[in-house]
Amino acid sequence: MNSSRQAVPLSRTHRSSRRRSTALALCLAGVTVGALAQAPASALADESRPTSVACPSGLEGKATCYTGRDAGGAHYVIAVPENWNRSLVVHAHGGPDLDDASDPERAPGDLERWQVMVDQGYAWAGSSYRRGGYGTRMAAADTENLRRLFVREFGTPRRTYVHGQSWGGNVAAKVVELHGRPNGPYDGALLTNGVLAGGSRGYDYRVDLRVVHQYYCENLPRPSEPQYPLWQGLRPASALTTAGLRSRLEECTGYSSAPEERTALQQRNLDDILAVTGLPERTLESHLRFSVFTFRDIVHKRLGDRNPFGNEVVRYSGSYDDEALNAGVERFSPDPTAVRDLSYDSDLTGKVSVPVLTLHAIADPTAFVEHEAAYRDTLAGAHRDRYLVQTFTKEHEHSALSNSEYANSISALDTWARTGRKPTARSIAASCASFDRVYDTGCLYDPTYRPSSYASRVRPRPGGLTWPAMTAARERSWSRVDGVGIAP
């Protein structure tokens, strides 16, 4: 696709990138974040020019790396390999991080982790986003802004792909829906261990964890502390830290202690929480952190204290005493306008028009593999599943997969985009061996695997069995509502 694009010689871009601009701070002083959100990317104030910096150790002598900050305030990193194949990978990072401002360390860390893309000859560009906190469309806009910045500084690549990991998979999938039209700027997407069920359904299992934990532990909040509804995650004024959360979880379940060191009550609490929620023990703390701190961000900072979550009709099972649990667990219903705004921001319509390849660890303990079933059903519901190929591996991690598989995946996506020949899970698994001879990190594909439905893993709420969660028609209708979604 887009084979007519012509790349600008790299020497010209090197000359361009050495020019330094000091106009950014003056410009940003007079522009609000809201105004930035309303203006198209081409109308934003001038960005600071990319500044050459040292590359991660694995890329020394292989690439030239740059950092900068775009007009929206998002820090970014760009790497251009010496053997550039004239194609670009734009990376969407996961999280979301919860800092108020853009984190200058985030994008460099992502480049170090995914430098395999640069090693394979692709230029790489990663944004830290203009702020932390939830906002899928904001992150998608910052990803697209960085692509445009790259084109201005380095010329138009022959092909451009967007890659997203974890929540970044949701962001990258949103980028494709918003900008991935035929003959448009993106030729395909690679989504790895992606959170692809969207915000309105993708966190229901953490809602369940929040209320089940409180039923057994009664320490978030304690009876002696100010009370608040659990859908808030945490009251706005709370000074609870992640260390404090770990302490309370340990106090209740002994999760970080050896089994023989736990009390009988701690072991029973832990057993019941894990059995009811279906969460792996090793990621229990991280899921609870999300249901506390990220829920607070979503509810208080992004949705104006409106509740997007519900569990009113959920029947919990698997505990020592299900009847007592269901009688005692906190119940609540969502605010329809909050559901609408979270859905508009993060749910996927499935309206894609370019190749999308996914890679997911079957035993991913954070973004369950059933997210892929949600995405499969989303594209099928939009009659766009012809653009989708899904691959699965026998891995057990969320934040990192095999470099051999990453290299194989971007190569398979590139071949599909260039030739129009759609691969299969089996053909992709077979092609990995040549990359493993280089990286020796393993090819752990299971080409026969197909995940069960999302509802088989996460208790559905009313209306939660049909996909897409947000149709393209509903998205168009909601887009006419003043102030819809999450503000950047």
Burial class of residue 409 in the structure, from the number of CB atoms within 10 Å of its CB (0-12 exposed, 13-18 middle, 19+ buried)? buried
Q: Which residues of the chain have pLDDT under 50?
A: 1-45
Q: What is the pLDDT of residue 181?
A: 85
pTM of the entire predicted model: 0.89
Structure tokens at 328: 């005692």
Q: Which residues pair with 390 in a beta bridge?
A: 358
Q: What is the pLDDT of residue 26?
A: 28
As a whole number of angstroms, the distance between CA 270 and CA 249 comes to 9
Q: What is the pLDDT of residue 1?
A: 42
What is the Cα 253 distance to its own chain's centre? 29
**Count of CB atoms situated within 10 Å of the CB of 85:** 15
Find tokens 């020592």 and name the residue: 320
**Count of CB atoms situated within 10 Å of the CB of 373:** 22
3-state helix, strand, coil in the chain (%, to 5): 45, 10, 45
Instruction: Confirm if 99 and 77 have CB atoms less than 8 A apart.
Output: no
Residues 6+ apart with CB under 8 A from 190: 89, 161, 162, 163, 164, 172, 357, 358, 359, 409, 410, 413
Amino acid identity of 20?
R
DSSP-derived letter for residue 445 is B
Q: Which residues pair with 359 in a beta bridge?
A: 192, 391
Q: What is the pLDDT of residue 459?
A: 95
Find tokens 């306008």 and name the residue: 337
Residue 404: in which H helix or E strand, if any? helix 403-419
Length of the chain: 488
Q: What is the pLDDT of residue 182?
A: 84
